[in-house]
Protein backbone atom coordinates (compact mmCIF):
# COMPACT_ATOMS: atom_id res chain seq x y z
CA UNK A 1 0.00 0.00 0.00
CA UNK A 2 1.36 3.44 -0.95
CA UNK A 3 2.07 5.99 1.78
CA UNK A 4 0.08 9.21 1.90
CA UNK A 5 2.36 12.24 1.62
CA UNK A 6 1.87 15.61 3.30
CA UNK A 7 3.46 19.06 3.25
CA UNK A 8 4.76 20.22 6.62
CA UNK A 9 7.39 22.91 5.92
CA UNK A 10 7.99 25.78 3.49
CA UNK A 11 11.03 27.91 2.65
CA UNK A 12 11.70 30.57 0.01
CA UNK A 13 14.29 33.00 -1.24
CA UNK A 14 12.60 35.17 -3.88
CA UNK A 15 12.62 38.61 -5.51
CA UNK A 16 9.44 39.26 -3.50
CA UNK A 17 10.94 38.42 -0.12
CA UNK A 18 13.51 36.16 1.53
CA UNK A 19 11.12 34.42 3.90
CA UNK A 20 7.67 32.88 3.56
CA UNK A 21 5.63 35.56 5.43
CA UNK A 22 7.15 38.42 3.39
CA UNK A 23 6.79 36.53 0.13
CA UNK A 24 3.19 35.49 0.79
CA UNK A 25 2.20 39.02 1.82
CA UNK A 26 3.51 40.28 -1.54
CA UNK A 27 1.54 37.58 -3.38
CA UNK A 28 -1.70 38.47 -1.58
CA UNK A 29 -1.18 42.19 -2.15
CA UNK A 30 -0.32 41.76 -5.83
CA UNK A 31 3.11 43.34 -5.52
CA UNK A 32 5.55 42.68 -8.35
CA UNK A 33 9.33 42.58 -8.02
CA UNK A 34 10.46 43.41 -11.56
CA UNK A 35 12.81 46.37 -11.99
CA UNK A 36 15.86 47.62 -13.86
CA UNK A 37 18.76 45.16 -13.75
CA UNK A 38 21.29 46.10 -11.06
CA UNK A 39 23.85 43.25 -10.93
CA UNK A 40 25.62 44.31 -14.15
CA UNK A 41 25.42 46.91 -16.92
CA UNK A 42 22.62 45.71 -19.21
CA UNK A 43 22.56 48.76 -21.49
CA UNK A 44 23.58 46.74 -24.57
CA UNK A 45 20.80 44.16 -24.17
CA UNK A 46 17.32 44.28 -25.69
CA UNK A 47 15.84 43.38 -22.30
CA UNK A 48 17.28 45.38 -19.40
CA UNK A 49 14.91 44.35 -16.62
CA UNK A 50 14.70 41.39 -14.23
CA UNK A 51 13.36 40.19 -10.89
CA UNK A 52 16.46 39.96 -8.69
CA UNK A 53 16.78 38.65 -5.14
CA UNK A 54 17.60 41.56 -2.85
CA UNK A 55 19.25 41.72 0.55
CA UNK A 56 20.23 38.05 0.72
CA UNK A 57 22.89 37.39 3.38
CA UNK A 58 24.17 33.79 3.49
CA UNK A 59 25.67 34.41 6.94
CA UNK A 60 22.13 34.56 8.35
CA UNK A 61 21.78 30.88 7.43
CA UNK A 62 25.02 29.73 9.02
CA UNK A 63 27.24 29.88 5.92
CA UNK A 64 30.78 31.07 6.66
CA UNK A 65 32.68 33.36 4.29
CA UNK A 66 34.85 30.37 3.36
CA UNK A 67 31.79 28.30 2.46
CA UNK A 68 30.28 31.15 0.46
CA UNK A 69 33.36 31.17 -1.79
CA UNK A 70 32.80 27.47 -2.51
CA UNK A 71 29.03 27.43 -3.00
CA UNK A 72 27.48 29.16 -6.00
CA UNK A 73 24.52 31.44 -5.37
CA UNK A 74 21.90 28.90 -6.47
CA UNK A 75 23.36 26.48 -3.90
CA UNK A 76 23.37 29.18 -1.22
CA UNK A 77 19.69 29.88 -1.91
CA UNK A 78 18.93 26.18 -1.52
CA UNK A 79 20.72 25.90 1.84
CA UNK A 80 18.89 29.01 3.08
CA UNK A 81 15.44 27.86 1.92
CA UNK A 82 16.07 24.38 3.34
CA UNK A 83 16.91 25.86 6.74
CA UNK A 84 13.64 27.83 6.65
CA UNK A 85 11.62 24.79 5.57
CA UNK A 86 13.11 22.55 8.27
CA UNK A 87 12.34 25.18 10.93
CA UNK A 88 8.85 25.72 9.50
CA UNK A 89 8.19 21.98 9.74
CA UNK A 90 9.39 21.87 13.35
CA UNK A 91 11.71 19.06 12.32
CA UNK A 92 14.26 18.32 15.08
CA UNK A 93 17.06 16.64 13.15
CA UNK A 94 18.76 15.53 16.36
CA UNK A 95 15.79 13.26 17.05
CA UNK A 96 15.46 11.94 13.48
CA UNK A 97 17.07 9.08 11.60
CA UNK A 98 18.98 11.13 9.03
CA UNK A 99 19.35 8.09 6.79
CA UNK A 100 15.57 8.32 6.26
CA UNK A 101 15.63 12.01 5.24
CA UNK A 102 16.41 12.77 1.60
CA UNK A 103 16.92 15.76 -0.68
CA UNK A 104 15.71 16.28 -4.25
CA UNK A 105 16.20 19.76 -5.68
CA UNK A 106 15.87 20.79 -9.31
CA UNK A 107 17.68 23.49 -11.25
CA UNK A 108 17.38 24.30 -14.92
CA UNK A 109 20.84 25.72 -15.55
CA UNK A 110 23.03 25.64 -12.46
CA UNK A 111 25.74 28.28 -12.40
CA UNK A 112 26.42 30.59 -15.31
CA UNK A 113 28.11 33.14 -13.02
CA UNK A 114 30.89 30.74 -12.02
CA UNK A 115 31.48 29.75 -15.64
CA UNK A 116 31.73 33.41 -16.71
CA UNK A 117 33.98 34.34 -13.80
CA UNK A 118 36.36 31.42 -14.22
CA UNK A 119 36.50 31.74 -18.01
CA UNK A 120 37.61 35.36 -17.52
CA UNK A 121 40.34 34.19 -15.13
CA UNK A 122 41.43 31.56 -17.69
CA UNK A 123 41.72 34.16 -20.47
CA UNK A 124 43.51 36.76 -18.34
CA UNK A 125 45.66 34.63 -16.03
CA UNK A 126 45.78 31.14 -17.47
CA UNK A 127 44.42 27.72 -16.44
CA UNK A 128 46.65 27.39 -13.39
CA UNK A 129 44.77 30.22 -11.68
CA UNK A 130 41.32 28.73 -12.12
CA UNK A 131 39.42 27.66 -8.99
CA UNK A 132 39.55 24.00 -7.97
CA UNK A 133 35.89 24.51 -7.02
CA UNK A 134 34.83 25.45 -10.57
CA UNK A 135 33.20 22.10 -11.37
CA UNK A 136 31.55 21.49 -7.96
CA UNK A 137 30.16 25.03 -8.02
CA UNK A 138 28.57 24.90 -11.46
CA UNK A 139 27.01 21.43 -11.64
CA UNK A 140 23.25 21.23 -11.17
CA UNK A 141 23.39 18.64 -8.37
CA UNK A 142 25.38 21.03 -6.16
CA UNK A 143 22.20 22.34 -4.52
CA UNK A 144 20.98 18.90 -3.40
CA UNK A 145 24.49 17.92 -2.34
CA UNK A 146 25.06 21.08 -0.30
CA UNK A 147 21.73 20.75 1.51
CA UNK A 148 22.58 17.14 2.33
CA UNK A 149 26.02 18.16 3.64
CA UNK A 150 24.77 21.20 5.56
CA UNK A 151 22.17 19.25 7.52
CA UNK A 152 23.75 15.79 7.56
CA UNK A 153 20.91 14.21 5.57
CA UNK A 154 21.91 10.75 4.36
CA UNK A 155 18.77 9.49 2.64
CA UNK A 156 18.02 9.52 -1.11
CA UNK A 157 19.77 12.52 -2.67
CA UNK A 158 19.47 13.44 -6.32
CA UNK A 159 18.49 16.29 -8.64
CA UNK A 160 16.35 17.08 -11.66
CA UNK A 161 17.26 19.26 -14.66
CA UNK A 162 14.26 19.68 -16.95
CA UNK A 163 14.51 23.42 -17.64
CA UNK A 164 11.48 25.32 -16.30
CA UNK A 165 9.82 22.10 -15.11
CA UNK A 166 12.73 21.16 -12.81
CA UNK A 167 11.22 22.28 -9.49
CA UNK A 168 7.90 20.53 -10.14
CA UNK A 169 9.55 17.34 -11.35
CA UNK A 170 11.75 17.37 -8.23
CA UNK A 171 8.72 17.60 -5.93
CA UNK A 172 6.86 14.95 -7.91
CA UNK A 173 9.82 12.57 -7.81
CA UNK A 174 10.25 13.17 -4.06
CA UNK A 175 6.54 12.40 -3.65
CA UNK A 176 7.09 9.05 -5.39
CA UNK A 177 10.07 8.22 -3.14
CA UNK A 178 7.92 8.80 -0.07
CA UNK A 179 4.95 6.89 -1.49
CA UNK A 180 7.23 3.87 -1.96
CA UNK A 181 8.64 4.17 1.55
CA UNK A 182 12.24 4.73 0.44
CA UNK A 183 12.41 7.67 2.86
CA UNK A 184 10.23 9.23 5.56
CA UNK A 185 11.05 12.88 4.86
CA UNK A 186 12.16 14.67 1.67
CA UNK A 187 13.29 18.26 1.23
CA UNK A 188 12.42 19.19 -2.31
CA UNK A 189 11.80 21.99 -4.80
CA UNK A 190 13.85 24.13 -7.16
CA UNK A 191 16.59 26.75 -7.15
CA UNK A 192 18.09 29.03 -9.79
CA UNK A 193 20.41 32.01 -10.15
CA UNK A 194 21.48 32.69 -13.71
CA UNK A 195 20.77 36.39 -14.26
CA UNK A 196 24.16 36.96 -15.86
CA UNK A 197 25.36 38.46 -19.13
CA UNK A 198 25.37 35.02 -20.73
CA UNK A 199 21.93 34.09 -19.39
CA UNK A 200 20.33 37.38 -20.36
CA UNK A 201 22.05 37.40 -23.75
CA UNK A 202 20.95 33.85 -24.53
CA UNK A 203 17.30 34.49 -23.75
CA UNK A 204 17.41 37.82 -25.64
CA UNK A 205 18.78 35.95 -28.67
CA UNK A 206 15.80 33.59 -28.40
CA UNK A 207 13.51 36.65 -28.34
CA UNK A 208 11.87 35.13 -25.27
CA UNK A 209 12.13 38.15 -22.93
CA UNK A 210 9.95 41.20 -22.51
CA UNK A 211 11.45 44.43 -23.82
CA UNK A 212 9.05 46.69 -21.90
CA UNK A 213 12.08 48.37 -20.33
CA UNK A 214 10.26 51.68 -19.78
CA UNK A 215 7.63 49.97 -17.58
CA UNK A 216 9.36 47.15 -15.67
CA UNK A 217 6.54 46.71 -13.16
CA UNK A 218 4.08 46.06 -16.01
CA UNK A 219 6.37 43.89 -18.13
CA UNK A 220 5.30 40.49 -16.80
CA UNK A 221 1.64 40.23 -17.86
CA UNK A 222 0.57 36.62 -18.37
CA UNK A 223 -2.57 36.03 -20.47
CA UNK A 224 -2.80 39.75 -21.28
CA UNK A 225 -3.18 40.68 -24.96
CA UNK A 226 -0.08 42.94 -24.83
CA UNK A 227 2.30 40.39 -23.31
CA UNK A 228 5.63 40.33 -25.10
CA UNK A 229 7.88 37.87 -23.23
CA UNK A 230 8.92 36.65 -19.82
CA UNK A 231 11.07 38.28 -17.15
CA UNK A 232 14.21 36.53 -15.88
CA UNK A 233 14.10 35.92 -12.14
CA UNK A 234 16.09 34.05 -9.51
CA UNK A 235 15.48 32.39 -6.17
CA UNK A 236 14.46 29.15 -4.53
CA UNK A 237 11.35 27.43 -3.24
CA UNK A 238 11.60 24.29 -1.10
CA UNK A 239 9.13 22.21 0.87
CA UNK A 240 9.35 19.51 3.51
CA UNK A 241 7.34 16.48 2.43
CA UNK A 242 6.70 13.59 4.83
CA UNK A 243 4.83 10.35 4.92
CA UNK A 244 1.59 10.93 6.80
CA UNK A 245 2.60 8.29 9.35
CA UNK A 246 5.86 10.10 10.12
CA UNK A 247 4.20 13.51 10.35
CA UNK A 248 1.49 12.24 12.69
CA UNK A 249 3.96 10.36 14.85
CA UNK A 250 5.82 13.59 15.61
CA UNK A 251 2.56 15.61 15.82
CA UNK A 252 3.57 17.93 12.98
CA UNK A 253 1.27 20.65 11.67
CA UNK A 254 0.09 19.51 8.24
CA UNK A 255 -0.27 22.29 5.67
CA UNK A 256 -1.65 20.23 2.78
CA UNK A 257 -1.50 16.80 1.15
CA UNK A 258 0.13 16.09 -2.19
CA UNK A 259 -2.01 13.58 -4.06
CA UNK A 260 -1.17 13.68 -7.77
CA UNK A 261 1.78 13.91 -10.15
CA UNK A 262 1.74 13.74 -13.93
CA UNK A 263 4.50 14.23 -16.48
CA UNK A 264 4.77 14.08 -20.24
CA UNK A 265 6.79 15.21 -23.23
CA UNK A 266 5.52 17.32 -26.13
CA UNK A 267 7.99 15.57 -28.48
CA UNK A 268 7.49 18.57 -30.75
CA UNK A 269 10.13 21.34 -30.51
CA UNK A 270 13.08 22.27 -28.30
CA UNK A 271 11.57 25.63 -27.21
CA UNK A 272 8.04 25.98 -28.63
CA UNK A 273 5.06 24.23 -26.99
CA UNK A 274 2.93 21.72 -28.84
CA UNK A 275 0.45 23.73 -30.99
CA UNK A 276 -2.52 21.80 -29.60
CA UNK A 277 -1.39 21.95 -25.96
CA UNK A 278 -1.27 18.15 -26.09
CA UNK A 279 1.68 17.53 -23.77
CA UNK A 280 0.48 19.88 -21.05
CA UNK A 281 -3.02 18.42 -21.28
CA UNK A 282 -1.70 14.88 -20.84
CA UNK A 283 0.37 15.90 -17.80
CA UNK A 284 -2.74 17.38 -16.19
CA UNK A 285 -4.83 14.33 -17.06
CA UNK A 286 -2.21 11.99 -15.60
CA UNK A 287 -1.98 14.05 -12.40
CA UNK A 288 -5.77 13.95 -12.00
CA UNK A 289 -5.79 10.20 -12.60
CA UNK A 290 -3.00 9.73 -10.06
CA UNK A 291 -4.95 11.83 -7.54
CA UNK A 292 -8.14 9.86 -8.28
CA UNK A 293 -9.98 13.14 -8.82
CA UNK A 294 -12.40 14.40 -11.44
CA UNK A 295 -11.71 17.74 -13.17
CA UNK A 296 -14.59 19.28 -11.19
CA UNK A 297 -12.55 18.88 -8.00
CA UNK A 298 -9.99 21.50 -9.06
CA UNK A 299 -10.48 24.82 -7.29
CA UNK A 300 -7.36 26.67 -8.44
CA UNK A 301 -4.63 26.23 -11.04
CA UNK A 302 -1.29 27.96 -10.58
CA UNK A 303 -0.49 28.20 -14.28
CA UNK A 304 2.95 28.09 -15.83
CA UNK A 305 1.81 31.41 -17.37
CA UNK A 306 5.12 32.85 -18.55
CA UNK A 307 3.80 35.99 -20.31
CA UNK A 308 4.91 34.76 -23.73
CA UNK A 309 2.52 34.75 -26.68
CA UNK A 310 2.59 31.00 -27.36
CA UNK A 311 2.84 29.60 -23.83
CA UNK A 312 -0.15 31.43 -22.39
CA UNK A 313 -2.40 30.72 -25.37
CA UNK A 314 -1.52 27.03 -25.53
CA UNK A 315 -1.64 26.46 -21.76
CA UNK A 316 -5.16 27.90 -21.90
CA UNK A 317 -5.98 25.39 -24.66
CA UNK A 318 -4.49 22.57 -22.57
CA UNK A 319 -6.49 23.53 -19.46
CA UNK A 320 -9.71 23.59 -21.46
CA UNK A 321 -8.94 20.23 -23.06
CA UNK A 322 -8.11 18.66 -19.69
CA UNK A 323 -10.85 20.14 -17.51
CA UNK A 324 -13.58 20.38 -20.15
CA UNK A 325 -16.54 22.53 -19.12
CA UNK A 326 -15.05 22.98 -15.62
CA UNK A 327 -12.15 25.00 -17.07
CA UNK A 328 -14.29 28.16 -17.07
CA UNK A 329 -15.22 27.62 -13.41
CA UNK A 330 -11.74 26.99 -12.00
CA UNK A 331 -9.63 29.94 -10.89
CA UNK A 332 -6.36 30.24 -12.82
CA UNK A 333 -3.54 32.66 -12.02
CA UNK A 334 0.09 33.14 -12.86
CA UNK A 335 2.19 34.36 -9.95
CA UNK A 336 5.00 34.90 -12.48
CA UNK A 337 3.24 38.22 -13.05
CA UNK A 338 4.72 39.18 -9.66
CA UNK A 339 7.83 37.02 -9.29
CA UNK A 340 9.03 36.93 -12.87
CA UNK A 341 10.10 33.53 -14.21
CA UNK A 342 12.39 31.69 -11.80
CA UNK A 343 13.14 29.05 -14.45
CA UNK A 344 14.13 25.81 -12.67
CA UNK A 345 13.01 27.25 -9.32
CA UNK A 346 9.55 28.29 -10.57
CA UNK A 347 7.82 24.98 -9.77
CA UNK A 348 9.16 24.97 -6.21
CA UNK A 349 8.06 28.53 -5.47
CA UNK A 350 4.67 27.95 -7.10
CA UNK A 351 4.09 24.78 -5.09
CA UNK A 352 4.67 26.91 -1.97
CA UNK A 353 1.99 29.29 -3.33
CA UNK A 354 -0.47 26.42 -3.80
CA UNK A 355 0.18 25.12 -0.28
CA UNK A 356 -0.46 28.57 1.20
CA UNK A 357 -3.55 29.11 -0.95
CA UNK A 358 -4.98 25.92 0.54
CA UNK A 359 -3.94 26.83 4.06
CA UNK A 360 -5.37 30.37 4.00
CA UNK A 361 -8.14 30.05 1.38
CA UNK A 362 -6.73 32.89 -0.71
CA UNK A 363 -5.98 32.78 -4.44
CA UNK A 364 -3.20 35.18 -5.51
CA UNK A 365 -3.87 37.27 -8.60
CA UNK A 366 -2.48 37.63 -12.09
CA UNK A 367 -1.35 41.25 -11.98
CA UNK A 368 -0.93 43.56 -15.00
CA UNK A 369 -4.02 42.04 -16.58
CA UNK A 370 -5.40 45.01 -18.56
CA UNK A 371 -6.36 43.89 -22.06
CA UNK A 372 -8.19 40.56 -22.43
CA UNK A 373 -6.91 38.25 -25.13
CA UNK A 374 -9.77 36.46 -26.95
CA UNK A 375 -7.58 33.35 -27.12
CA UNK A 376 -7.06 33.40 -23.34
CA UNK A 377 -10.58 33.26 -21.97
CA UNK A 378 -10.42 31.72 -18.48
CA UNK A 379 -10.80 33.25 -15.03
CA UNK A 380 -7.27 34.52 -14.43
CA UNK A 381 -8.08 36.20 -11.07
CA UNK A 382 -7.15 39.60 -12.53
CA UNK A 383 -5.10 42.06 -10.47
CA UNK A 384 -6.61 41.38 -7.02
CA UNK A 385 -6.32 38.34 -4.76
CA UNK A 386 -9.54 36.47 -4.11
CA UNK A 387 -10.84 34.89 -0.92
CA UNK A 388 -12.32 31.50 -1.73
CA UNK A 389 -12.42 28.05 -0.20
CA UNK A 390 -9.48 26.33 -1.86
CA UNK A 391 -9.81 22.57 -1.62
CA UNK A 392 -7.64 21.32 -4.48
CA UNK A 393 -4.83 23.06 -6.39
CA UNK A 394 -3.09 22.10 -9.58
CA UNK A 395 0.37 23.48 -10.40
CA UNK A 396 1.69 23.38 -13.97
CA UNK A 397 5.30 23.65 -15.12
CA UNK A 398 6.23 23.45 -18.79
CA UNK A 399 9.90 23.44 -19.79
CA UNK A 400 12.08 23.84 -22.87
CA UNK A 401 12.60 20.44 -24.45
CA UNK A 402 8.87 19.76 -24.17
CA UNK A 403 9.08 18.70 -20.51
CA UNK A 404 5.73 18.97 -18.69
CA UNK A 405 4.96 18.43 -15.00
CA UNK A 406 1.70 18.83 -13.08
CA UNK A 407 1.27 18.49 -9.32
CA UNK A 408 -2.03 18.21 -7.45
CA UNK A 409 -2.23 19.20 -3.79
CA UNK A 410 -5.33 19.34 -1.57
CA UNK A 411 -6.57 20.13 1.92
CA UNK A 412 -5.58 17.44 4.36
CA UNK A 413 -8.39 15.44 5.87
In 3D space, the residue among 284, 294, 277 whose CA is nearest the CA of residue 262 turns out to be 284
Tell me the β-bridge partners of 75: none
pLDDT at 367: 98
What mean pLDDT comes out for the span 165-175? 98
Report the 3 state secondary structure along 48-113.
Answer: CEEECCCCCCHHHHCCCHHHHCCCCHHHHHHHHHHHHHHHHCCCCHHHCCHHHEEEEEECCCCCCH
* Average pLDDT value over all residues in the chain: 97
What mean pLDDT comes out for the span 232-257? 98
What mean pLDDT comes out for the span 18-42? 98
| DSSP-assigned letters across all residues of 295-314 | GGG--EEE----S-HHHHHH
Question: How far does the chain reach from its first CA to its final CA, in angstroms?
Answer: 19
Q: How confident is the model at residue 249 (pLDDT cuts 50, 70, 90)?
A: very high
Cα–Cα distance between 56 and 83 in angstroms, integer?
Answer: 14
- CA triplet 220, 221, 224: central angle to 5 degrees? 160
**pLDDT digits 0-9 by tens, 323-363:** 999 999 999 999 999 999 999 999 999 999 999 999 999 99
Task: Tell me the percentage of the chain whose pLDDT exceeds 90.
Answer: 100
What is the C-alpha R_g of the chain? 20
Domains detected in the chain: 6-249 (3.40.47.10), 261-410 (3.40.47.10)
Res 246 pLDDT > 90: yes
pLDDT at 1: 78
**pLDDT digits 0-9 by tens, 261-283:** 999 999 999 999 999 999 999 99
Q: How confident is the model at residue 156 (pLDDT cuts 50, 70, 90)?
A: very high
Task: Tell me the percentage of the chain whose pLDDT exceeds 70.
Answer: 100
Cβ burial, residue 41 (10 Å; 0-12/13-18/19+): exposed
**pLDDT digits 0-9 by tens, 107-120:** 999 999 999 999 99
**pLDDT digits 0-9 by tens, 54-96:** 999 999 999 999 999 999 999 999 999 999 999 999 999 999 9
What mean pLDDT comes out for the span 220-230? 98
Catalytic positions are 164, 304, 341
Cα–Cα distance between 157 and 174 in angstroms, integer?
Answer: 10
Amino acid sequence: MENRVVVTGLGVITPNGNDVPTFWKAMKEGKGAVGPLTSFDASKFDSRIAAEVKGFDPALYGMSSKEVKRIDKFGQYAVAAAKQAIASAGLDLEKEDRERIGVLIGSGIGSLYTIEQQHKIYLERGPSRMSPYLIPMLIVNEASGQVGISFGLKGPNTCVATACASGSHAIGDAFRILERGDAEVMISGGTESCITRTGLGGFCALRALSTRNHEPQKASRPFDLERDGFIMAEGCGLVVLETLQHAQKRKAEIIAEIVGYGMSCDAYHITAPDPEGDGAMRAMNLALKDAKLNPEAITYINAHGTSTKLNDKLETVAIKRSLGSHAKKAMVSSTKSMTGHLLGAAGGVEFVVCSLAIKENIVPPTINYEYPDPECDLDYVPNTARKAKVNVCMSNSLGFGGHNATLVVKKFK
